[in-house]
Amino acid sequence: MRRLTGLFFFAVLFLIVFFGEAISLYTDWLWFQEVGYTQVFTTSLTFKLILALIVGGLFFLLVYFNIKLAAQAPRGATFLDQENAIELPSPELVDPLLQRLLFPVAILLALFAAPQAASHWESLLLFLNSVPFGLEDPLFGRDIGFYVFQLPALTVLYNWLSFSLGLTFLATAFTYLVYRGVQYTQRGLFLTEGAKTHLFSLVAIFLVIKSGGYFLDTFELLYSSRGAAFGASYADVYANLPILRILSVLALAAAGLCFTQVFRPGFRYILAGLGALILVHVGGLSL
């Protein structure tokens, strides 16, 4: 009976979320049918569905399996639970609820993520059908087709990866906190070996993605509006461009330090990498 109630709840929620989208799709279908361009409608709908299924599925897997792994963390394996400065409910009380809700909540989050991805179907279509313009930009020597067809899709991909991995890290860290894989005591912050490896690996992967983001930001300088005219200004070329390239390398170095910290005690390496990256980002790009 409880399972049927849960299924009914999610079915109603699914209808509420997608009812408006279904009405919009039906209205568009009628219009395209009226003007005789139904193939255009079916092509766009196909790409929307492909993006929604792929991105929604990846988002579900990312959230579900990371939290599932964190929920299997050993409780109090390294230090006493009563030393924890943060008052939390017992893992034995939380575990049945989390095990019951994890799958449907991950599905629900994926259902919200899927329409957002589907809205970028044009970027995917342009990326898959990119052609050279035969004209290069004067700063990077890239064909103009890269900025029209490829850069928008790569930017969307970077934003999605950053958001998804950031949300996954927060959810995973909170799960470890509840299951006592992470504890904060008067002696400092303590992590079990499993939590340390898992969380630091997520941070390292995020930093690798961030490095790619800085690399993409260099091309965005061509769209700068900070100068007297639209485009890369003198400050963009001789100040921001070198800083972005340095930040891209620093992010990779910080990722390497995160992986190194997995095999070293304490937090010295990861703090040094993140500190240097934040210092250069704040100090360099704010000039």
pLDDT value at 14 more than 70: no
Sign of the Cα torsion 168, 174, 177, 183 reads positive
- What is the SS3 assignment for 132? coil
CB 145 within 8 A of CB 130: yes
The 10s digit of each residue's pLDDT in 131-169 is 999 899 888 989 999 999 999 999 999 999 999 999 999
Packing angle, helices 151-178 and 38-70, rounded to 10: 30
pLDDT value at 287 more than 60: no
Helix H or strand E segment including 199: helix 193-220
The 10s digit of each residue's pLDDT in 204-263 is 999 999 999 999 999 998 888 776 677 778 788 888 899 999 999 999 999 999 999 999
CA angle, residues 204, 208, 213, in degrees to nearest 5? 140
C-alpha closest to that of 17 among 52, 55, 66: 52
CB 199 within 8 A of CB 169: yes
> How many other β-carbons are positioned within 10 Å of the β-carbon of residue 21?
12
Reported as a pLDDT band with limits 50, 70 and 90, residue 19 is low
The 10s digit of each residue's pLDDT in 174-215 is 999 888 888 877 777 888 888 999 999 999 999 999 999 999
Q: What is the DSSP letter of 74?
A: P
CB 143 within 8 A of CB 133: yes
- What gap in Å lies between CA 283 and CA 287, rounded to an integer? 7
Reported as a pLDDT band with limits 50, 70 and 90, residue 76 is very low
- What gap in Å lies between CA 285 and CA 239, rounded to an integer? 8
Residue identified by tokens 């609820």 is: 97
The 10s digit of each residue's pLDDT in 45-59 is 888 888 889 999 999
Q: Which long-range contacts (CB under 8 A, 24 or more apart) does 145-148 make?
A: 146/219, 147/219, 147/222
